[in-house]
Structure 1
């Protein structure tokens, strides 16, 4: 019986080592097949536009060159490398390029995620975490820069946690990851911020005589990480850029993805939290103090900002894996090695995925989801050659991609809290006087707003403005030539 069990472990080990490969391949296939889901966010278009500008000019932007309200003002793109990657993918294969690039990064993220967990947890527990992470991240898995940074984030934090689990300092070979992350997305600041609590966890659990030298090695790694994160075209300004986001204050809750979690209806986050709480109560699971701090900190971020759900879903299991392995089932001791036949299997799988990708590209028409973009309205607007257009916030990205200078767009850190809040209160008529002040102060020639917005309905009845185009999504008003537009315009009764 002992020999039988040994042989079973030997047979299971190599196949078990392939779990990350199967997970990555499966997720890649799913996201390529559902590729148009990755293109539903109009931000993808302006990200590609900026990436192409960087390629054409051979430099990164330092000032705004897209809006007419902030043109020439200081602005840097902390996502420049991701934008260039998307632009290159688009130039090479049309919209298939960004779909394949984003799908490959998502697949790599989950393969790394699986590899880390499978070293510590049994397969069933690993698969539960994978399913949970997918459920929480899918809504925000789009062809945008943060997706290209996800595998780097997973590898970086996984490397830190592995070092902490060994009561050791992380390898300096991790430093290229933080440098790469700093060029892909501004979220690298979180990666830097996590070094200190993970280091504290490692030092706390180390032998007393090893704590001081271990703390010094972690401190050296932290300093090197900070230096490596400045290896961008912007230097240390990439770090400072995060302050502009944090300084947006009242503007953040007005942006959909920055809003706090909403529990008015049952959703994946609530289900996952309740099931996790139930499991902890049922099995009596305990965690080391600093892992509890990390868990609660990431939970707070996820509850505060919906856009942080993928961070919570992908990082929390990394912190929980080692403590849970001691309580609910660890991985088998057999090494998860891949023998040469399995290497051939991986090569065959890669060829199959490549062939499948080409087949999908020939059968599926990948294109951005234009239902939320004012395509027809912008085409009409461009005929008028206006240069000062007051637009809805959600239309800004499409205007950039269409070559029209917006009043405002998704680069909220460029516009700042005061400007953004004033625009929001104007378009929503929370403060109607703001609408007329902005129209007057910026000498607006035309407006491009959602047809159902309060501002659009008001302009329908205001003297000095004429509706020249409307569809179910967007409406264009132009200033009437020679009309006396005042801060408190009279209502035109004939318009009712």
Structure 2
């Protein structure tokens, strides 16, 4: 066996000591957050949609194609439907097939931690460590409520790199590099949020035009326009071509139906929470330090704040994107990153935490045994539905993902853009007895012969009082009724 020489050892150690702070700190942040997310891994599985995301990934692997029509529900079989997040679903299916829920948690935790590690890296290109880390911590608090094992989590590091590339080009008063185009293509195959990334080109192009000399503006406009067209073309490099872009319009076109979905609802300020604390802290800092930003970046940050206020799921956009727009303008006001910030301790801490993260990847999944929460996993109730032999099922919205995973065709599930606003609102009005006539009409029109609803659903009490329906199973998660009469 050949052992390294002493000179080689000294060379390696010298290289490690040379690791700059803006590289060491991102590794530290990513490793710490990865271990934290593994420790809280069960919370990453709190979303009911994770079930059908994995089931769809399995379907694509088995059929070696992507879906173009619905094959999972019994209410809209064969209806046109595409999955713009097909690649993330395949990744989740592979992770689940290899390591079970531990694989799903590990992949999600790694992606989220990597996104914040990259955010730290890009911020510390401008800011001193303390203000950069403060922005990262605030971003993590804002994004935390939407940290679940779903395709958007896998797209977060791609989003950070894309936005950082655009902002860096604007900071350096040049056109974005065409090497960014593979990122938008990858994002377009991971999650539909890539349309947000495309829209960010416009304000940065506007800023470039404002800052340019009058005789250069036409040239700069043409350069940014060409990049925008190239980015749009790259985003169409998916199995569905440009149709992936239209999915976002369909989702946003759901209108009032979105207000019934938790993650699309506005922020709740009835109790003091992380979002409000960050918002109040930011307002206090603005008043204390008289922080200033360029006009276009003010508009972008205000737009992100509006999105986060009106849709709680957009907190991650505010937490991960806004700091990238703010970093360069804030550097003169809060301290720039300098070479003197480098310390040998950074390297040792980064190495130790990376080793810890690697060890915890094995220890925590084995000791914690991750499982989705019981409220979205009505195991016994689904067995009762199967035992009934009935197939025309009316289910609660949150049970749809688990039903698909168990091979039972649901009435409705988390693919809201498939069902449309009218279908979704009618289902909500029926099961919540907002209009009893709608409930009776739906039961008759769809010839429902079995129901599986959450115990708190108003329709459960009505079914208990209808002589043609019999309660055959109930627990704290779901109640099953079977039609026994006409």
- Number of the residue aligned with 1:97: 103
- Number of the residue aligned with 2:205: 199
**Residue 428 (structure 2) pairs with residue 424 (structure 1):** yes
TM-score relative to the length of structure 2: 0.93
Ranges in structure 2 where 5+ consecutive residues have no aligned partner: 1-16
SS in 1 for 2:20: helix
- Number of the residue aligned with 2:90: 84
- Stretch of structure 1 that moved more, 120-129 or 205-214: 205-214
* Residues 92/293 of structure 1: CA separation in 2 closer, same or farther (3 Å cut): same
* Residues 13/210 of structure 1: CA separation in 2 closer, same or farther (3 Å cut): farther
- Number of the residue aligned with 1:169: 175
- Number of the residue aligned with 2:14: none
Higher RCO, Cα 8 Å, sep 6+: 2
SS in 2 for 1:476: strand
- Number of the residue aligned with 2:191: 185
Superposed CA offset, 1:79-117 (max 9, x none):
100000000011111111111101110111011100011
SS in 2 for 1:76: coil
**Residue 264 (structure 2) pairs with residue 264 (structure 1):** no
Alpha-carbon distance in 1 for matches of 2:365, 2:398: 29
Alpha-carbon distance in 2 for matches of 1:337, 1:60: 50
Counterparts of residues 308-327 of structure 1 (less than 5 Å): 308-327=314-333
Task: Return the offset for 1:457.
Answer: 0.5
Ranges in structure 1 where 5+ consecutive residues have no aligned partner: 1-10, 484-496
Alpha-carbon distance in 1 for matches of 2:440, 2:407: 26
Task: State the Cα RMSD in Å.
Answer: 2.0
Task: Return the offset for 1:321.
Answer: 0.7
Task: Return the offset for 1:338.
Answer: 10
Q: 118, 126, 150: which one pairs with 1:112?
A: 118
Superposed CA offset, 1:281-339 (max 9, x none):
11111211101110111111111101111001111111111111122222225597999
Task: Return the offset for 1:148.
Answer: 0.2
**Residue 229 (structure 2) pairs with residue 219 (structure 1):** no
**Residue 142 (structure 2) pairs with residue 136 (structure 1):** yes
- Number of the residue aligned with 1:303: 309
Alpha-carbon distance in 2 for matches of 1:64, 1:50: 11
8 Å contact kept, 2:28–2:349: no
Alpha-carbon distance in 2 for matches of 1:174, 1:334: 31
- Number of the residue aligned with 1:4: none
* Residues 68/118 of structure 1: CA separation in 2 closer, same or farther (3 Å cut): same
TM-score relative to the length of structure 1: 0.91
Q: 227, 235, 243: which one pairs with 1:229?
A: 235
**Residue 464 (structure 2) pairs with residue 460 (structure 1):** yes
**Residue 161 (structure 2) pairs with residue 155 (structure 1):** yes
- Number of the residue aligned with 1:34: 40
- Number of the residue aligned with 2:28: 22
8 Å contact kept, 2:21–2:341: no
